Amino acid sequence: MSISFWLAEWWSSQRRKGDDASLCVLIYLFAYYLSTRIRQAS
């Protein structure tokens, strides 16, 4: 299972709860994930 799929599933479950703060957390985690990928690629 890919991390992006897991994050999408988690985010959709958080959205059903109406927790807007989860969106900020998701963006932070996604940015961190991208930064690690970029560092590995270089």
Q: Where are the alpha helices (DSSP H) in the chain?
A: 3-17, 21-41
**The pTM of the whole model exceeds 0.85:** no
d(CA 19, CA 6): 17
**Torsion-angle region of 18 (φ positive above 0: left; ψ -120 to 50: alpha; else: beta):** left
Residue 19's pLDDT is: 63
Residue-level pLDDT at 34: 92
**pLDDT tens digits for range 11-28:** 777 777 666 677 778 888
Strands of the chain (E only): list them. none
